[in-house]
A and B are shown apart, each in its own frame.
Chain A
Amino acid sequence: MPTLEKQEEFLEACVRDYDHILIDTCSLMSTGAHAFWQHVLPITRRYGKKIIVPLTVWKELENNSKDLRKDATTRKEAYNALMEITHLQNVGDIQIVGTDQEKNALAHPELADKKKAFADNVFLMVLTVWRMKYDTLTITQDRGLTADILALGQSSNAVRVPKKVHVRALTADGYLRQANRMPGASGVSSAQRPRFPQQRSEPANAGTGEPFAKTTRLQVYPGMMAFQHRPETGAMLSALYSDGRRETLRLGAEIAHGGEGGVYSTNQSGLVAKIYRPEKLTRMKFEKLKRMVAHNIECRGVCFPKALIYNMENEFCGYLMAEAKGKPLQASVFSLWKKGAANPFPTWTKLDTVQLCITILEKIIFLHRMNIILGDINPGNILVVSPTEVYFVDTDSYQVEGFPCPVGMINFTPREILMQGEKLHYDTFLRTEGNENFAIATLLFMIMLPGKPPYSMVGGESQRENIISGDFSYPCGDKSTGKVPQGRWRYCWSQLPYKAMKETFYQTFRLGEPHSTEATRYSAEGWLSNFQAYRKLLKNGNLLENDDQALMIFPTHFKKQAGVTYAKCQLCGREFEERRLSRGYCHECSEKTYRTLICADCGRTFAFTYGEKAFYDERGMTLPKRCEACRKARDAGGHHSSLRAGSLHRSAPRPVQRSHQPQPRPQPRQQPRVDSPQETAKPQGFWDHLFNFFR
């Protein structure tokens, strides 16, 4: 760690030596921002220079400070940064720089270009020019942008970069440090990179396209677009692209069909065609597809409409899109519980499902940046090849501009929509990003607990009612409803990391928690950073060190706690807290049949369990001769007359049969499955009581 003087000196050298210093949104919102201004302003004043804040950065701060989908802390940080730089601009300490267009937009918001400018693009655009003229330093915390800028500074065969293009990040105490770049992203020339590198975190999944306009007004185009000549396999068609280009293609075999029409292969490799059934094609669909195609949305794994398809009679009849691969979530990840061939990924671990969530989130984030709402997120329209290769299908139902997504699934619909009525018509309203965030959280939950909907619970009602009541049953910290579904789901939940997963899910799904409403739910970006944190914990071995089942999709025990002793059940071999085992058996196994015996009295067979056997062994006794009913009958036949008098009271609490007897005061239960301790020195278990009673 350099000394303060060294850091101060370095800062001064930067101000002196670079022609321009620019600063990015994330640095202005970082903890060191205020201190940075304290350190740097005296120096810039001395040298008569000004740090540059791009106008898009100012706009981003303004948006972030008002964006209710962001959490309160982010909004506050953005607001503070916004106030600070606005003040600094007013007193002439910094320079806010924008393009003419941006300045016009500020003055006349009603004329502003609907396309949202991204600060990253502005940096890259400016630096592409400045690298020929000025030495520049950009201050950013963003690793993706760092990689992009550093790439700009590298000379290649095509371009010799004469000037310095450097990047630094802010430290927490407001000085400059080495900036981290996205691994693997360096050395990519800007020409090879997508024109709109909006995907900051994982350039590999970046998409391109022009964002749609945001609107809250529902579009309506009534009427049908029925056409005469429905193309069949072998038909020649024409694909019309947004730039007016027409391409001829031949329809191949039908790959899949649904209610609206069929999907066909084409003679263009990697491209397939959806052809509508003439009676299903509405004007609404046509208008929506026209818009979709016009925005040139390209993102690996998102099978978005690319071109409109016309038949030889020049009737509109469908659209062209990228071909999808893989199996739907329902038949893949949601089938991880199955045995044999029905489970396509038997070797998957938590690392794979966490990575899958990251891959899916990156695509959703891209779509959201394009102002596209997926709407009908469900396990049927995301196909999985591997944790890093997924395909989004049925994209023509996505909500863009005023065109709603006309379908949905109860399970993925938030309470604020379900409460509108028993019968929902998804095509009559526009969804918000807040609505969508519920579907995203549900999907992620259902990947972590493969296939299990978040609101399933013991004593639950229908899905709709469960979502509306918001009675999320999985525990968080010491908050618990005791209604967690039976089976292994509780172990899946228990093994999730607390901060990144459990708390986040809990706060989203439990009504009244800080992130449970439309305005406050975590966005896809928020989830992404949580899943990245989870992935890190899995990769660096932290979780595995604590519990050897941390990587299992279906763990068989609760997450281990520090300071607790664990032991294995003698029969099933699963690990339990030592104190929960009864004579070496877990509760489940101690009730399993060890041997089937024949009763000496009635001649019927009866089960002798492992728990009983362990008990008998401990006392050195031989197997019982009679079944429970006959033992009872014998007892009732006078053998226990003394018991009624109360002399054996201590040894035999059978509350059901002896309710008229004075009962010992029940003790608080310390161990489940073990009845209240008696006054004997050694605490007695259920089987002890049972045995005593029949002895």
Chain B
Amino acid sequence: MGQNLIRVQDLEDNPTARVPVCLCLDVSGSMNIIIPGTGRATNEQRVIDGQRVYIAEGGVSRLDEMQKGIESFYETVRSDPQAHDAAEICVVTFGAGGAHIACDFAGVDRQTVPRLSADGETPMGEAVNLALDCLEQRKKEFKEAGVDYFQPWLVLMTDGVPNGNQQALEQAITRTRNLANANRLTVFPMAVSEEADLATLSRFSPKRPPAKLKNMNFKDFFEWLGKSVQQLSNSVPGEKPTLPHDNVDTWWEI
């Protein structure tokens, strides 16, 4: 009840037009894979999330990098006065135990950056459905309170192949495509590794081909995303985010 009141109060008091962003993130077991060159491999082998891997000692995992990326995203958004008031972030994860809301919508001040841990499978369809539900719910709340908003963004990141419920996956794809085609959602599909299922990712996004993250450079991606939120909530030549030209070459590969 108290939590809900704060949620409503936040909505009503803050007059800024909102940019709802939902990060839909893969936290399956394979996200624990150590980035080449950062750890020392042992001879032990195991099958994790459908992949045969060596066990490593030390090093930096994909998840570690993603965690840092999300933190820098929050930092970028919080540092700009306009984006700070405009951004609304929600984090949905998929891994062990299915799809899960790691952090529900609220002003960025009230949120603590969720700490992610990786395990289990890749139920992507379920997660995207949950993410779309969250976005729908938040839009409904905006409308009821009389708060302006921009059409939401969905960032979908995976390093593998979806292996959840097939029906849920098809439903998620249809929902996402319909929204994107009607200009009611902007989708950013991101392949985190070479093993990621580009074919499925591209089915989620009728307007923008999936992008491959180079060298696990989550930080740059999320900084760019934060800058795009800044850009959207500041002076804009249209409602669509555009890529800043400076750091495109270093990591963005289409």
Chain A residues packing against B (C-beta within 8 Å): 259, 328, 330-331, 334-335, 337, 376, 378-381, 406-411, 422-427, 446, 449-453, 455-460, 462-464, 466, 473, 483-489, 593, 607
Contacts and interface: CB of A to CB of B under 8 A. Distances in A.
A485 B12 contact: yes
B36 interface: no
Given A328-B81, A466-B148, A483-B146, A378 B235 contact: yes
B15 interface: yes
Contacts, number: 109
27 contacts: A330-B82, A334-B16, A334-B85, A335-B81, A337-B15, A380-B234, A407-B235, A410-B236, A422-B239, A424-B238, A425-B238, A452-B15, A453-B17, A456-B15, A456-B17, A456-B148, A459-B143, A459-B146, A460-B143, A462-B148, A462-B151, A464-B239, A485-B145, A486-B145, A487-B9, A487-B11, A489-B146
A487 B81 CA distance: 22
A409 B233 CA distance: 9
A335 B146 CA distance: 18
Given A337-B15, A453-B17, A464-B239, A380 B82 contact: yes
A407 B231 CA distance: 12
Interface of B: 1, 8-9, 11-17, 81-82, 85, 143-151, 183, 234-240, 244
A380 B235 CA distance: 8
A463 B13 contact: no
A334 B15 CA distance: 8
A301 B15 CA distance: 27
A450 B16 CA distance: 10
B254 to A, nearest CB: 21
Nearest to B147: A456
A422 B239 CA distance: 8
B152 to A, nearest CB: 11
Contacts of B14: 337, 451
Contacts of B148: 411, 453, 455-456, 460, 462-463, 466
A409 B235 contact: yes
Contacts of A409: 234-236
A460 B149 CA distance: 9
A458 B13 contact: no
Given A337-B15, A459-B144, A607-B1, 10 more contacts: A335-B85, A376-B235, A380-B235, A423-B238, A426-B237, A427-B237, A451-B85, A458-B145, A473-B146, A485-B147
Contacts of A473: 146
Contacts of A335: 81, 85
B227 to A, nearest CB: 10
A257 B56 CA distance: 43
A487 B145 contact: yes
Nearest to A607: B1
A613 B45 CA distance: 67
Contacts of A334: 15-16, 85
Contact of A486 (B17, B81, B144, B237): B144
Given A328-B81, A409-B236, A422 B183 contact: yes
A442 to B, nearest CB: 12
